[in-house]
Amino acid sequence: MAVPVQVAEQRSQQLASYEQAVSACTRCRLAEGRTQVVFGSGNPDAELMFVGEAPGFHEDQQGVPFVGQAGKLLEKLLAGIGLERADVYIANVIKCRPPGNRDPQPDEIEACESHLFRQIELIQPQLVATLGNFATKLLTGKPLGITRVHGQEQWTTLGGNRVQLYPLYHPAAALYTPRMLQVLEEDFARIPQLLGTDDVPKPVLQLAPAPEPTVQLGLF
Ligand code: SF4
């Protein structure tokens, strides 16, 4: 649905100014080892938002989420449903890279999660796809793992908005597990239906196996 120009401009400005504020955040110890805060990127008016775990090495260097092999796979999956990166918004629960890509600690999650909730409040997406176990458990508030709940949409309230949550396998996990990739593709194929845009023509996917693992713990 098209957003009125004034609303879009205001939202974009608010998001940019929040990003500016978060770029100096020192609420938790992860500020000490980061190259930069990886706030998020994409369309401030996105109907579809993806939420992963935390920045890895390349994300920390470039300041953009999902820029490695997992990001490439995410882009291919998006292309498969007629979308580009610029159509969606991509963020992580944790905005600074944990050292050695270790799992984020509970106090770090507690310190950082309000940044994500504020992003959701500003963007007001219709659908929030959680990528992997970590984001899924946090945003559903339930202990059920991704293998149990992937592909099952559910309504919840995030950042003061009613949104549909849609848990998916993390692309980094699917890179090296063909069966998981197949399930991820199948779950992705339902996104247009959930967004109410399932009349969009779907290009043929050609997914090549990717090298170079940067798989983090807790992704599946
Ligand atoms: S991880 Fe989050 S809370 Fe911690 S310093 Fe970075 S932005 Fe702030």
pLDDT digits (tens, 9 = 90+) for 70-91: 999 999 999 999 999 999 999 9
- Contact criterion met (CB below 8 Å) for 155 and 174: no
> Which residues touch 33 (CB under 8 Å, ≥6 apart)?
96, 97, 99
pTM over 0.85, yes/no: yes
Q: What pLDDT does residue 202 have?
A: 46
Question: CA–CA separation, 116 vs 94, rounded Å?
Answer: 8
Q: What 3-state class would DSSP assign to 220?
A: coil
- How far away, in angstroms, is 179 Cα from ligand 1 center? 34
* 203, pLDDT greater than 70: no
The answer to whether the beta carbons of residues 168 and 128 sit under 8 Å apart is no
Each residue of 180-200: pLDDT tens digit? 999 999 999 999 999 997 654
CA of 93 to the centre of ligand 1 (A): 10
Ligand 1 atom nearest to CA at 26: 5
CATH label, 14-193, candidates 1.20.1260.10, 3.40.470.10, 3.40.50.1820, 3.40.50.261:
3.40.470.10
pLDDT > 70: percent of the chain: 89
- CA 220 to CA 214: how far, in whole Å? 14
Instruction: Output the ligand 1 site: residues, CB below 6 A.
Output: 22, 25-28, 30-31, 37, 94-96, 108, 111-112, 115
Separation of CA 34 and ligand 1 centre (Å): 9
Residue 17 pLDDT grade (very low, low, confident, very high; cuts 50, 70, 90): very high
Ligand 1 atom nearest to CA at 111:
3
Give the distance (Å) from ligand 1 centre to CA of residue 98.
Answer: 10
- Find all residues with CB under 8 Å of 80, minimum gap 6, and list them: 185, 188, 189, 202, 203, 205
Specify whether the backbone of 46 is left (phi greater than 0), alpha (psi in -120 to 50) or beta: beta
